[in-house]
Amino acid sequence: MITEKDLQEAIAECQGERDPNSRTCIKLAAFYILKDHLYPEKPEELTHGYSYAAGAPDDVENIIDYYSDTEFGRLIDGRKAAEVWPLIDELVSVIQLVVPRVYDSFMQKLQ
């Protein structure tokens, strides 16, 4: 298993790259995602001022009700939105760095 120290060293190496390219950005993003997933700084909770405590109104709306034949659709169906949104945010940030044209197109579709 990758230790937190290994990930920190790999991140530092990517950040210290003199002439970064898209491969460097992809590796850096992957290292950060692994670090956040394997060694989270905070327990799994929302940090945006929302609470999903038991008995909160409209708890049902916080569960994703989405099915498609894609692997992604199957994985998110029935999960808490608070678990999925941070992952999607990270993915979109990586796409912004690696393929800005796809990111721009995606953002236009959202607007």
3-state secondary structure 37-76: HHCCCCCCCCCCCCCCCCCCCCHHHHECCCCCCCHHHHHH
Domain that holds residue 69: 62-111
pLDDT, tens digit, for every residue of 22-62?
Answer: 888 888 888 888 888 888 775 544 445 444 455 555 555 68
User: What is the 8-class DSSP label of residue 103?
Assistant: H
Has residue 70 been placed in a domain?
A: yes
Has residue 53 been placed in a domain?
A: no
Write down the mean pLDDT value for the chain: 79
- If one compares 46 and 89, the residue with the highest pLDDT of the two is 89
- If one compares 54 and 93, the residue with the highest pLDDT of the two is 93
The verdict on 27 and 66 lying in the same domain is no
pTM, two decimals, is: 0.46
Structure confidence at residue 60 (pLDDT) = 52
Tell whether the model's pLDDT for residue 96 goes beyond 80.
yes
Domain count, the chain: 2
Structure confidence at residue 47 (pLDDT) = 47
Tell whether the model's pLDDT for residue 79 goes beyond 60.
yes
Has residue 48 been placed in a domain?
A: no
The verdict on 37 and 73 lying in the same domain is no
